[in-house]
Amino acid sequence: MKIITVTEINEAANCLKNGGLVAFPTETVYGLGANALNPIAVAKIFEAKQRPTFDPLIVHISDLDQLNDLFERPIEPLVFELARHFMPGPLTIVHRKSGIVPDLVTSGMENVAVRMPSHPIANKLIKLAGVPIAAPSANKFGQLSPTSYKHVAKQKMKIDYLLAGDDIDSLVGIESTVVLVENNLCTILRPGIITLEDIKKAMPDAKVEIAEHNHKINSPGLLDSHYSPLKPLYFLDKGTETFPPNSGIILHSKNDKTFPAQKIIYTSETGDLIEIAASLFTSLHQMEDDITVNQIYIEKVKEKGIGISIMDRLKKACFQYQ
């Protein structure tokens, strides 16, 4: 088993200081990072991912005091309340940006997205680099998010340093929940493992809502088509008995009926939504990499709690094939 060493983390941190690109693990998915305060370094992210510059980036921090540097003052108290309950962790806060944040990071918009990862390697890397790190997922634009270094390596992107270890695959498995804080209101722009119910439970007096769908890209992860495998992906319809040859099927419980002569992957044995989220992209990568599979069918989950986040990713992944 390959384990990431302290020496490797230091080398990656120096790479970031010198304007390079580093792929590193977080508790959600692997990120592709650059010094968020260096526009030239940030531009390399867009080039490597082939990502349009209208799609903003998330800035990663290692200390909550950095919120005071990245957000314009006065910062709404709700920002700090959310940070106190959910940071470090898979929550991204969108708020007015300060003057030190380059326009390229925010795609020219007045708000910046910031989160503090709980993964110890990510946190140590950012701390050693000494600067906030702009980092989308470490995959080519629109393709499957990576949950291990092997998923990053197969993308063949131009990366200066890949922190690779078998012991640090992502635990959450889907990208962070993104919330906009504006006028004392917390609006969920992108669902994630931290749900509306979680925020309301932790902060019963806060005003929290889910944003209605719109085409204004004011946060990362809001495009209609995203997270897609290189093979056609379709939702599994109930009652379907036959499939085209060389189909792969992803199910979420071993209690479901079986499909003879098909390649089947289970994201969970019992339908547990946390397990499904954690293994969702890994399962899709396995199907994408299997040369015997020509198209993929995946089961839906109920859109409740974490299921909302899972279906958000799957609808975007299936969008071009619907």
What are 84-93's pLDDT values in tens digits?
999 999 999 9
204 and 240 part of one domain: no
Of all helices (H) and strands (E), which one includes residue 307? helix 306-318
100 and 205 part of one domain: yes
For residue 115, which of 206, 196, 221 has the smallest C-alpha distance?
A: 221
Model pLDDT, residue 212: 79
Rounded to the nearest 5 degrees, what angle is found at the Cα of 115, between the Cα atoms of 56 and 280? 80
179 close to 186: Cβ distance less than 8 angstroms = yes
203 and 260 part of one domain: no
203 close to 82: Cβ distance less than 8 angstroms = yes
Q: Tokens 């680099």 sit at which residue?
A: 129
Model pLDDT, residue 321: 58
| Residue 220 in domain | no
β strands within 191-288, DSSP E:
207-210, 233-235, 247-251, 263-266
125 and 250 part of one domain: no
54 and 191 part of one domain: yes
Domain that holds residue 41: 6-210
Residue 38, SS3? coil
For the chain, what is the domain count?
2
| Residue 306 in domain | yes
Model pLDDT, residue 182: 96
| Residue 225 in domain | no
- Mean pLDDT, consecutive 10-residue stretches, the chain (322 aa), reads 90 98 95 97 95 91 97 97 97 97 95 96 97 95 90 94 75 90 96 96 96 60 68 86 89 79 89 93 94 95 94 86 58
Q: Tokens 């309950």 sit at which residue?
A: 85
105 and 199 part of one domain: yes
Model pLDDT, residue 52: 85
* Cβ-Cβ contacts under 8 Å for 255 (sequence gap 6 or more): 270, 271
| Residue 226 in domain | no
For residue 306, which of 195, 211, 227 has the smallest C-alpha distance?
A: 195
CATH number at residue 18: 3.90.870.10
Model pLDDT, residue 319: 72
| Residue 206 in domain | yes
pLDDT digits (tens, 9 = 90+) for 153-183: 999 999 999 999 865 555 788 889 999 999 9
Q: Tokens 């792929």 sit at which residue?
A: 23
Residue 82, SS3? helix
- How many other CB atoms sit within 10 Å of the CB of residue 241? 7
Q: Tell me the whole-structure pTM to 2 decimals.
A: 0.90
249 and 205 part of one domain: no
The C-alpha atoms of residue 306 and residue 196 are separated, in whole angstroms, by 9
181 and 246 part of one domain: no
CATH number at residue 299: 3.40.50.11030
